[in-house]
Chains A and B, each alone.
Chain A
Amino acid sequence: MFKNHIKIAFRNLWKNKGYSSLNIIGLAIGITCASLIFLWVENEFNYNSSIPEKDLVYYVPTNQMYEGEWGTFYSSPGPLAADLKEEIPEVVKAGRLWTSNFLFNVGDNTIKSSGEYADYDMIDIFGLSFIEGTKETAFNNPNSIIITQETAANLFGKNTQVLGKNVLVNNSENFIVTGVIKDLPDNTSFSFNWLVPFDNFINDNPWAKGYGNNFADTFVKLAPGVDVVSVDEKVRKILPSKKEENDTEAFLHSSQDWHLRSEFKNGKVDGGEIKFVQLFIIIAIIILVIACINFMNLATARSEKRANEVGVRKALGSEKKTLTYQFIIEAVITAALSSFISILLIILMLPKFNMLVEKQLTLGLNQPLHLLFFISITLLCGVFAGLYPAFYLSSFKPVEVLKGIRTKKSSAIFIRKGLVITQFSVSIIFIISTIIVYQQIEHVKNRELGFEKENLIEIPVNGNMISSFPPIQQDLISSGMFSHVALNSSKIFSAGYNGSGLNWQGGINTEDILIRFRWITSDFLNTAGMEIVEGRNFSKNLAKDSTNILVTQSFARLMGDDSPIGKVVHREQAYTVVGVVKDYLYGDMYGASKPLIFFSGKEDARFLYVKKKAGVSNESALAKLERVVNTYNPAFPFEYTFVEDSFDSRFRSETLIGDLTKVFALLAIFISCLGLFGLAAYTAEQRKKEIGIRKVLGASVDNLAKLLSSEFLKLVIISCIIAFPIAWFVMEQWLQDYAYRIEIHWWVFIAAGIAAICIAIITVSTQAIKAAIANPIKSLRAE
């Protein structure tokens, strides 16, 4: 029986090549989308899977109370790790990381590489696997260094034994390679190219020994089977007991949540990447449903062609369930062919998709999970798409169909129209979403930032760039290519250093207000195009302004309604406000500008900012910059970033959503149009005789095309009516997450509606015109 079903399925597919192709292509596109999303989602869920006993490993962030709300920080005081291990018996391993960039020199080979200062326990917590050396001897002295396989190859060449070899770090200190570890997988939350003992960092930074700081990444591993809630309670009590204050606490954040649930609100986990994972799972399901609807619609529309077969089979003794089974098998075979095509499509599209999502995903059909996914999605699509047509077809009464009584049921037509409306509603929602996401991204990108990001170049400070700053500045300005050069202790966009507990005469208690700090050279405001709204800028002689500060407007507002100029602010020492800078945006691009103080000084500078003159080409400007920086700082490779690029990269998530929504909107509308095309073709075929008679009676091609198209247009218009409020609600919810957001405009809906109608007209009218221009004699003679 099964063989018979398969045989007839293939013969039917072959006999109706046109309709089969529409079904197979539609489903193949749907399955391709779902599979690509599956690969991405799998990668997201597998984050940190290289960590052994992942469920026992926790990160320890800290909560700090500001303005009555907990703010969560991915950092903790230096001694916390050791104290957790000592005071909480359930904590079996505890360690810290502190990220740094090293300049490595081996012979003539110079490489800049990021890595971590790490405690010994981190080797066990991350389950690092040694290719050379052993974990026991890896951190024997403070100048030991563990490097990854890739770093070893980059420094010493491939297939070289590197254990015991020397590496010069930052042109100042020699480290001995005591271990080579396997490279970390791409999907890991904490990646590094090297590890050196944390003691090395402590020796250079004695401030890190006490509880008066908050800088380290602290990790713990718990004993198996312990009650995590009670351990978390113990962890939360540690900081208040050490710091003797209740406005700070550490807590456990499971490694299973590091990647997907990494956002916090008022001290509690509040989503993260999981939002995107959920969103794209929903999108995958929607695209698949749209593709399955094509199958349902075409199968039921063409049911009359199969009705006779149903009648005969029933007369020969087939039960309804046998027929249902047969039609589902046919659908599963269609889905299987689609899956096969989708594998080819995935192979073709994966490189582009990888570029889009910035991952290295592979099809990996040899992986059981991937194979299971393909089998499951084939069966699922087949059964889902085939179920309704199977029940519909198998319910035909043999006595009616064998007599040739028309099998068109009004309920089936109603459902078919409903399904077309569903497809187009979803497509229109996608179109509207795409426009609104794009508008929101552009809205924020074009936001008044309070500085000019254009032509601004950011160069990390290292080596002797601070001491060489005056000649670097002079050479660059005298080149005529740059208008301003300055130093800053933070990246222009980042939140940077912060502190609290400032006070001033008649001031409010700032104990629980987080104030950001920047140390800048005098030309920074000009370099960044920031505006002084009151008072003056720092003078060129930095020392002259060592006890003066500039504040932003939002800080000035904290100080009161009067002019802040001349007022004294205390932070360890007294500083006089000499100028007010127009508020500018940093940190959260969607939020408001937060209070900030500029100090005069270059000792803590970490970034050099250079303003390129308009009209100077990037190529020549960068070449000049590199020459000048290398002249004064030859030991370090030249690195730079255009601030405009780093600004764009801050919208990575939104851009990804925008790009993917655009792709899915196009695919959804394409798949829907495939179905509409099939239905239009079938309707035209069905109404061949009617068209012939109408033509003979004098109907024009125009009249007939309108007649055939109008039925489908009505459906698209109904889809618009359904889609508009849903799209408005969904996008309004999405925009709720953004403090700085657009208002949704009515024209977006009209534009999406018109786009959908135009696409539908083009799809349907080709078939309608084809039917209308056919010779009526042929169709009438055939009757």
Chain B
Amino acid sequence: MIKITDLEKFYRTEEVQTIAINKLSFEVKEGEFVSVMGPSGCGKSTLLNILGLLDDPNGGSYLFNGTEVAGFNERKRANLRKHNIGFVFQSFNLIDELSVFENVELPLIYTGVKAAERKERVHEVLEKMQIMHRRKHFPQQLSGGQQQRVAVARAVVNNPKLILADEPTGNLDSSNGNEVMDLLTELNATGTTIIMVTHSEHDAKYSHRIIRMLDGQKVTENILSEFKKRPKVEL
């Protein structure tokens, strides 16, 4: 599903150039659950941003479902993103002015889904995330765990092929963290590809494979469990 080859990303100021990703190459198969680990500043989040088409690489190739997307313009990137990719952030990134229902509904609005169908799908996913009773609440009225469940609901409501999770349990206690990891595992079990950046060895164990990075490069790769491709099941 994803194939990156010699991917490069550097940040340049007037005096120094910092390399964030250095000739990085790997592949992620459809339905796989991959964790990316490494110390702070090793380029994990930059990698995730490039994979999520939020950032441009400076070099190398990025094939998404066989299509080279590295040179996509803003409009094409937004289009590919809204139909194929869901994001889960460490700090949840819910919009404070929108209710739980409205936050989850947002990706469906951007993909042009009709109001009646939106309502149905949002209710469905909220039920699944066990947050239905909080649908009229605003983010500030929820606990961290509940907020992250809403964020996961929002990430999956559009039934994306790929979920990119950036330290999804980073701001949660262990019990809420486990809940979120269970949710991601369930999603993966339905065929959704997941790439997760994490500092937590515990969380990484939920995945099939761990890619370890240092200074923008892949250092090791551990296969934790055998990945068998399953057909993607719609939520």
By a beta-carbon cutoff of 8 Å, the part of chain A in contact with chain B is: 1, 4, 7-8, 11-12, 15, 308-309, 311-320, 322, 397-399, 402-403
Contact = CB atoms under 8 A, between A and B. Distances in A.
B52 A319 contact: no
B98 A8 contact: yes
B43 interface: no
A8 B78 contact: no
Q: Nearest 3 pairs between A and B by C-beta?
A: A317-B82, A11-B97, A317-B110
B84 to A, nearest CB: 9
A315 B54 contact: yes
B106 interface: yes
A106 to B, nearest CB: 73
Contacts of B110: 1, 313, 316-318, 322
B93 A317 contact: no
A311 B111 contact: no
B154 A316 contact: yes
A319 B75 CA distance: 6
Nearest to B87: A315
B89 interface: yes
A312 B89 CA distance: 10
Nearest to B107: A316
B81 A7 contact: no
A315 B52 contact: yes
Contact of A319 (B55, B78, B98): B78
Nearest to B106: A316
B79 interface: yes
A317 B54 contact: no
Given A316-B106, A316-B107, A403-B45, A12 B97 contact: yes
A11 B107 CA distance: 20
25 contacts: A1-B110, A4-B98, A4-B105, A7-B102, A8-B98, A11-B97, A11-B98, A12-B97, A308-B93, A309-B96, A311-B93, A312-B93, A312-B94, A313-B110, A314-B78, A316-B82, A317-B78, A318-B78, A319-B74, A319-B75, A320-B74, A320-B78, A397-B55, A399-B54, A402-B93
Nearest to B50: A399
Contacts of A7: 98, 102
A311 B75 CA distance: 15
Interface of B: 45, 49, 52, 54-55, 74-75, 78-79, 81-83, 87, 89, 93-98, 102, 105-107, 109-111, 154
A4 B109 contact: yes
> Is chain A's interface secondary structure helix, strand, loop, or mixed overall?
helix
B106 A8 contact: no
A322 B105 CA distance: 16
Contacts of A313: 95, 106, 110
B113 to A, nearest CB: 11
Contact of A317 (B45, B55, B105, B107): B107
A8 B95 contact: yes
A39 B46 CA distance: 58
Nearest to B138: A11
A36 B49 CA distance: 53
A4 B93 contact: no
B74 A312 contact: no
Given A317-B83, A322-B110, 13 more contacts: A1-B109, A4-B109, A8-B95, A11-B97, A11-B98, A309-B96, A315-B93, A316-B87, A316-B106, A317-B110, A317-B111, A397-B54, A402-B93
A15 B97 contact: yes
A7 B109 CA distance: 14
Nearest to A403: B45
Given A318-B110, A319-B74, A320-B74, A402 B89 contact: yes
Contacts of B97: 8, 11-12, 15, 309
Contacts of A316: 81-82, 87, 106-107, 110, 154
Among A311, A312, A403: residue with most chain B CB under 10 A: A312
Contacts of B96: 15, 309
A15 B109 CA distance: 23
B93 A399 contact: no
Nearest to A4: B109
A317 B95 contact: no
Nearest to A2: B109
Contact of A4 (B54, B75, B87, B106): B106
A317 B81 contact: yes
Contacts of B49: 399
A757 to B, nearest CB: 38
A4 B95 CA distance: 12
Contacts of B82: 316-318
A28 to B, nearest CB: 24
Nearest to B93: A312
A311 B93 CA distance: 9
Contact of B95 (A309, A320, A322, A399): A309
A15 to B, nearest CB: 7
A8 B98 CA distance: 7
Contacts of B55: 397, 399
B205 to A, nearest CB: 27
Contacts of B107: 316-317
A372 B94 CA distance: 40
A398 B79 CA distance: 15
Specify which of B74, B102, B109 lies most central, judged by the most chain A CB atoms within 10 Å of its CB. B109
Nearest to B49: A399
Nearest to A320: B74
Contacts of B105: 4
Contacts of A398: 54
B8 to A, nearest CB: 16
B89 A317 contact: no
Contacts of B89: 402
Contacts of B111: 317
A308 B97 CA distance: 12
Contacts of A322: 110
B79 A4 contact: no
Nearest to A319: B78
- With a 10 A CB-CB cut-off, give which of A11, A12, A308, A316 has the most chain B CB atoms: A316
B166 to A, nearest CB: 9
Contact of A314 (B45, B54, B95): B54
Contacts of A402: 54, 89, 93
Contacts of B75: 319
B140 to A, nearest CB: 11
A316 B82 CA distance: 6
A322 B97 CA distance: 18
Nearest to A14: B97
B49 to A, nearest CB: 5
Contacts of A1: 109-110
Contacts of A309: 95-97
Nearest to A404: B91
Contacts of A317: 78-79, 81-83, 107, 110-111
A12 B95 CA distance: 11
B224 to A, nearest CB: 28
A748 to B, nearest CB: 48
A316 B49 CA distance: 13
B121 to A, nearest CB: 15
A632 B88 CA distance: 101
A309 B78 CA distance: 16
Contacts of B81: 315-317
A315 B154 CA distance: 11
Contacts of A314: 54, 78
B102 A4 contact: yes
Contacts of B102: 4, 7
A403 B81 CA distance: 19
A31 to B, nearest CB: 26
A318 B109 CA distance: 9
